[in-house]
Chain A
């Protein structure tokens, strides 16, 4: 069960890129993922996100938020504040790590004027009505997968390592039977992930990480596209005002700050 709601999705994507590179089947694949993770580790991250869900008939829905992460991966604190549409403006999400356990997660709903502690989300649930499921929003912890290196490929003109990742049976139930990761060889950054639900011969969903730029000496994709190839809908996330390794104000990742309206 994923206990990472809203913000982690982005995290996942940003961290994932880091998680991949090198030669020779399983060991090589693992080594690539470790190198990628080490290479893209950051102390903090801030951005403004804009998300658009486009249905098969072309109808578009948008959501916007600000995200502040302090720390990295399992040790990170995360605050997310939705800024649009008006119906969700001010909704806040706070995730605080707990050693060896799922993180504490809290939600602030301006309409109720109170914070609520929330339990682990169903990994198969849709993330705020998008083509992302909660599992898609988690950081890719390669330790929870059996991995092996496949034949090289080219994605968006860039040579890539291709790694197959199958969820381990002892790592919790996954929505997917397998994932195919495309890691750019030059920067060990994840640029594509094909997702196969149980029984699917062709990928049911595809995540593309595009517009990779260098921000504060870290590579990051400013555009993430999740395609639900079965349903025909697409969700695009754009990241603006990205910043890494900036000092975070004291108290930003606290419940007191979560309940502050008109604040972070």
Chain B
């Protein structure tokens, strides 16, 4: 038995996937935009339980695209404006200092909040908008401690140097500008990027009491989403368009929030509220709330979320990224089938009446190989976060082999 325990403690596992995806676009703003884009990804993860109290994990990802716009270096901090060909997704060590208290250090991904689709506790965390409809998070370098004592839990995170949102602005497809100069379309170009020199810290407290789960959190430090400052004074002619550089800076922000969820029969009801404060004139304060509901119907699950900001913003919310879609209603239906799964996602912006419909079906050809077909269809007013990107209407197909 001792031998078995030791072997178990040293258990090492490898996993990962190789994936090829293709996107076919229905429209394009400029002749330079491709109709079809290919994207190939390989990712590997190693996990090791060094001892019963010590675990480590590392994940490396490599990508190539048909547009060839990936730099060939390993961006350890993920602070480059462009996604690089090789990136370190995770590299952490976790030490259980007590049976229910862990300390983790390294590079990791966070997932906070209770409501689905949009959570004020989670929305500030850095995203990689290279594919703006993928909702992909960026990992962080930091230290984290989590623990539990009875019905109470805590989760503290310190990120000494912040990883900013990756916001590609140089593509008219991803960041369209509804203006023309001398009959030429206007596109944004990357300007100065005043990267954050410090980071942020956060503490989240959670408790469970019967059917209720409650939580409270606070954070302070540099907000990872950039504030963009267009520089028309530095505009220049870039082939078939007028390019306007957009500088980036990062503001301080303090925030406090509450979370609540309750099991009510077959439903799980969730709610969150957060107050965000910033003295930066380009950001201002916010009062964000969400309501959510989830219910399973047979092999399907329905998720509903309503999210809004009760305060006005000093600039178009579209330029604030983490609150760009507010107010919004989100509905998700996902279902598992014997052949695979499918899901439909509808996001309706309530300010401009624009929205996004996503559909996806995945067929499991084998346990390791999945083939996927899907479509992303933004629609509505060009002043909204979804309607502003009509050139992103696309069909997609992919094949993923996992190991």
Contacts and interface: CB of A to CB of B under 8 A. Distances in A.
Interface in B94-125: 94, 96, 98-102, 109-113
Given A55-B338, A86-B15, A257-B100, A119 B268 contact: yes
Nearest to B268: A119
Interface in B58-90: none
B248 interface: no
Contacts of A242: none
Interface stretch (A8-16, A109-117, A146-154, A179-187): A109-117
Interface in A122-161: 122, 124-126, 128-129
B28 interface: no
Contacts of A260: 55, 94, 96, 102
Interface stretch (A36-44, A193-201, A219-227, A247-255): A247-255
Given A122-B298, A257-B100, A85 B147 contact: no
A249 B208 CA distance: 22
B49 interface: yes
Contact of B265 (A62, A120, A124): A120
B236 interface: no
B368 interface: yes
Nearest to A127: B299
Contacts of A261: 47, 55, 57, 94
A215 interface: no
A216 B94 CA distance: 34
Contacts, number: 105
Contact of B56 (A118, A129, A262): A262
B287 interface: no
Contacts of A58: none
Contact-residue size bin, chain A (C-beta under 8 Å from the other chain):
35 or more
A129 B363 CA distance: 13
Interface in A52-95: 53, 55, 61-62, 83-87, 89
Contact of A129 (B17, B266, B298, B336): B336
Residue picked from B111, B146, B297, B402, most chain A C-beta under 10 Å: B111
A250 B337 CA distance: 38
Nearest to A250: B99
Contacts of B295: 119
A209 interface: no
Contacts of B267: 119
Contacts of A120: 265-266
B48 interface: yes
Contacts of B132: none
B61 to A, nearest CB: 14
B169 to A, nearest CB: 28
Contacts of A86: 15-17, 368, 402-403
A118 B111 contact: no
A210 interface: no
A101 to B, nearest CB: 8
A174 to B, nearest CB: 15
Contact of B298 (A83, A87, A118, A124): A124
A249 B99 CA distance: 8
Given A61-B364, A256-B153, A117 B296 contact: no
Given A122-B266, A256-B147, A262 B55 contact: yes
A129 B146 CA distance: 33
Contacts of B368: 85-86
Contacts of B100: 250-251, 254, 256-257
A112 to B, nearest CB: 5
B367 A85 contact: yes
A233 B264 CA distance: 35
Given A114-B113, A250-B99, A260-B94, A1 B296 contact: no
B52 interface: yes
A249 B52 contact: yes
B47 A262 contact: yes
A172 interface: no
A104 interface: yes
Given A122-B297, A129-B338, A256-B102, A61 B367 contact: yes
Residue picked from A1, A249, A260, most chain B C-beta under 10 Å: A260
Residue picked from B100, B101, B403, most chain A C-beta under 10 Å: B100
A1 B146 contact: no
B277 to A, nearest CB: 25
B148 A85 contact: no
A121 interface: yes
A259 interface: yes
Contacts of A262: 13, 47-49, 55-57, 94
A194 B102 CA distance: 47
B265 A119 contact: yes
A256 B148 contact: yes
A97 to B, nearest CB: 13
A33 B261 CA distance: 39
Contacts of A87: 370, 402
Nearest to B15: A86
Contacts of B261: 117
A98 B298 CA distance: 25
A129 B367 CA distance: 12
A82 B105 CA distance: 25
B30 interface: no
B29 interface: no
Contacts of B112: 114
A117 B208 CA distance: 10
A262 B55 CA distance: 6
Given A126-B336, A256-B102, 12 more contacts: A53-B338, A86-B15, A113-B111, A114-B111, A117-B213, A117-B261, A125-B296, A125-B299, A129-B338, A251-B99, A256-B101, A262-B55
13 contacts: A53-B338, A61-B367, A85-B368, A86-B16, A89-B15, A119-B266, A120-B265, A128-B336, A129-B299, A255-B208, A256-B100, A260-B94, A262-B94
- 3 tightest Cβ-Cβ pairs between the two chains A and B: A113-B111, A251-B99, A86-B402
